[in-house]
Structure 1
Amino acid sequence: MADSDGEYISDDDHGTRSKKRTRDGKPKRNAATWETFKQTWEVPVGESAEGGRPSLEAEIRRRLAVDTEPVQRGIIRHMMLVLDMSFAMADKDLMGPNPYRLTVNYAIEFVQVFFAQNPISQLGILGLRDGLAITISRMGGNAEEHIEKLKAYRDKYDPQGNPSLQNALEMCRGSLYDTPSHGTREVLIIYGALFTIDPKDIQDTIKDLINDRIRVTIIGLAAEVHICKHICRRTNGDMDGYYRVAHHEQHFHELFLASTTPPVTRTKEQDNPSLLMMGFPSRKLAAKNTLVLCGCHSKPCREIYTCTRCQIAVCRLPIECPVCRLTLVQSTHLARSYHHIFPLRNWVAVSWAEAAAAGSVSCYSCLDPFPPIPQDTIMRAAEDLATGEDNGNSARNKAPTLIGVSESGRYACQVCRNHFCIDCDVYAHEKVHNCPGCQSDVRE
């Protein structure tokens, strides 16, 4: 019976089974299960729907595993980045649906982080395809030029041919041959293939790399390859840990960016301390309605830096003077490289008892309020303070321990003893590399 009849009684008078309709009046279809399914490469590892808190905690755990003792490192680095662009990088089983574009995108991020943490270093980029080593970007210290070349190459070419490790290493060796001895010589290879097609014996190339003091680090994307492990071990003083295979995207990202930290100087490579001449030019503006051609690119510029030795004009810093070969830098560039030698010590997790004893209610740096201290913890701390006893709750005489994530949301500097939140902890160790509490302490 039609529902326009007065005697019709609908069994859905309360609208419990009503469906949403589209603009044309048709019922709106719910999304199928396969349409809402997310692939593993679409979900960032260590992230949650609520935000990035698990990733911050994972970052702290990872950093606690790194030794922060001061060691000798080479802050003037010369690195060649080699990217596998063979047919192997088109395999969707490596890293998501397009490992080739993922690798190039990570390489762009690597260039940015590399020059942010190593501003007085130089970088060159090569590509492996058709059995040859193709120059993508020559050795230089301008991050913008490297990024532009990578983006242009990514959009123009697709993976093709087979890779050749020997050709890549020989080309890297030629690019690093004329670099000064006071800097490091490094090669970082992103390798997705399980084989290499070489024209000659690669063992001879490995011996030449050892004689030239060139270190090789390889990140594999598929599986462990014996020749890659052999190259890394021989060129790094028979030490392991320089050849790693990425398990997933996040692991690949961590291994890639880990190479931005300068390597530890080996005993055999330590030279006698010597002075390195550098110039610290000031920024100058050209005269009104005029432009000046820079000596490095021959481009008209409004703002220039004048070499302190030969007075040639350059458009950016840091750079090597194109005339007298003097290294031109700013004091901030040296300061940003200094933290690799003396890294900021890890902050310790603060327990509820320690937080109650200190009475901290907000972060010392950003003033963000901490989680409130439980009342029973406050009462126990007050009783211990009144009686002068220590029942294990007081942290005044307790040695700090690195236990990872803090239960109270507080992290204490081992020098100034101030308490900070987890966001300031990560920011201080990853960005500024200084403790706000220690920097604000005016005591002699």
Structure 2
Amino acid sequence: MDGRNRWEGDLSRTWESLKEDEEGRLGVVGRRQQSRAGQEQEAAVRRNMIRYLYLVVDMSHSMGMRDFRPSRAGATQQLLKDFATRFFTQNPLSNLGVICTHDGVAEKLTDLSGNPRAHAEALSQKFTTSGEASLQNALEVACSLLKGIPDYGNREVLVVFSSLTSRDPADIFATIDKLRKHKIRVSVIHLAAEVHVMRSLVDKTGGSFGVARDFQHVKSLLMEHLVPPATPPQTDPDAEMVLMGFPSRIQQADAVLGYDSGAPAFLSVAFECPRCGTRTSELPSTCVVCTLPLISSPHLAQSYHHLSPLGVFHTSDEETASPCAGCGVDGPSERVVCGKCRGKFCLDCERFLQESLHNCPRCLELAGQC
């Protein structure tokens, strides 16, 4: 068919679409039920809008295995590039960094920053896999970089691991205790199996653990980390004011010296820091001179949707599909109903509302009529 053997094709898990009802009969689960299962938002959950996340990527020889196409390394690189872009779309006030481990050492690819372009360029370079991974060295590097983060920010590490072994120089459980002391939350996505030391790591630091079944499952596990983790109910942090700057946009005929991705550059269109007057090429960013976080009001509003998530949508029981309240298309496709305004939407519109718009247009329309 496409030059591959039959056993090299994607696994078709047809049994996963079957579900037993209350009367013991098997039925096919709809696309909407599979995609939205387990995604209902809890009520009154406290979340931190400012996150400091380090991605730890395994680049050992095990990433060269071809159970993922074209290989584990190639599939992971593609998914992490998409994750970095989506991360800053969903969390514009947050910072991201990348650490890789191979040949028993850990290497920092990118610093913590709010510049998605720098991370995309680093993740676009070809992944060279060699030697064995060292989980402890990667965690030590992440801990040394995150322990100085202010208390108002979430300190997080997301490990994407492939190897079943780790070449560590000392006691990794001492490193786990250090992470717990500095309140660093570690989550793990493993591409092969559940490993005891990693399960202990996430349990002690309050993270999550997932074992990927296939390419799409890796993607769904990564997308779960786009939403800021819920603050534990027993935690009662003191309110703290975070100083941020809202720069003005300046456009001149003659280019003026400023900074582009942290490097000096001549800019004709730039954003001027309200504190020191230094110019930068993009927002959000951090002023190179006075280290003031620079954002715009849309970025602040975009982060707010995590604190007031869109309500749960339910499957419509009507046999005749009514026009979609979003796109207006009238067809036989399945409909879902907003739990607040009872507006009916098709599956594509519901996915767009949940992942991008974060608002129900029917609810906004009714609110405007009041």
Contact 2:324 2:346 in 1 (8 A): yes
CA distance in 1, matches of 2:217, 2:32: 12
**1:284 and 2:267 equivalent?**
no
Q: Describe the shift of the 1:34–1:331 C-alpha distance in structure 2 as closer, same or farther (beyond 3 A).
A: closer
- Whether 1:235 and 2:209 are equivalent positions in the alignment is no
The structure whose residues are more often strand, as a share, is 2
Structure number with greater Rg is 1
* Equivalence map 1:38-437=2 (5 Å): 41=9, 58=31, 60-68=33-41, 69-93=43-67, 95-152=68-125, 154=126, 157-236=127-206, 242-286=208-252, 288-294=253-259, 296-352=262-318, 361-371=322-332, 409-437=334-362
| C-alpha distance in 2 between matches for 1:270 and 1:107 | 33
Give the number of aligned pairs.
353
For residues 223 and 42 of structure 1, do their structure 2 counterparts lie closer, same or farther at Cα, with a shift above 3 Å needed? closer
Given that 1:44 and 1:250 are in contact with CA atoms closer than 8 Å, whether structure 2 keeps it comes out as no
Contact in 1 for aligned 2:60/2:133 (Cα 8 Å): yes
Cα deviation, 1:60-100, whole Å, max 9, x if unaligned, reads 5342422312311111000010110001111224x244111
Offset of 1:427 from its aligned partner? 0.9
* CA deviation after TM superposition for structure 1 residue 294, in Å: 2.6
Structure 2, unpaired ranges of 5+: 15-28
Q: 2: CA distance between counterparts of 1:281 and 1:314?
A: 9
8 A contact 1:60–1:426 mirrored in 2: no
Q: CA deviation at 1:42?
A: 5.1
Indicate if the aligned counterparts of 2:258 and 2:278 stay in contact, CA closer than 8 A.
no
Task: Please tell me whether the aligned partners of residues 59 and 426 of structure 1 are also in contact (alpha carbons under 8 angstroms).
Answer: no
Structure 2 CA distance for partners of 1:44 and 1:141, relative to 1, 3 Å: farther
TM-score (norm 1): 0.74
In structure 2, C-alpha distance between the alignment counterparts of 1:89 and 1:59, rounded to whole Å: 33
Identity %: 33
SS of aligned partner of 2:255: coil
Contact preservation (8 Å) 2:40, 2:312:
no
* SS of equivalent residue, structure 1 residue 145: helix
Whole-angstrom CA distance in 2 between matches of 1:170 and 1:330: 34
The answer to which of 98-107 and 323-332 deviates more is 323-332
Indicate yes or no: 2:357 matched with 1:443: no
Letter in 2 for 1:202: I
Tell me the distance in 2 between the aligned counterparts of 1:59 and 1:278.
Answer: 40
Task: After TM superposition, give the deviation of residue 201 of structure 1 in Å.
Answer: 0.9
Alignment partners' CA distance in 2, 1:179 and 1:41: 45
Kept in 1: contact 2:135–2:166 (CA 8 A) = yes
Q: CA RMSD in A?
A: 2.3
Assess, with a 3 A threshold, how the Cα gap between structure 1 residues 162 and 250 changes in structure 2: closer, same or farther: same
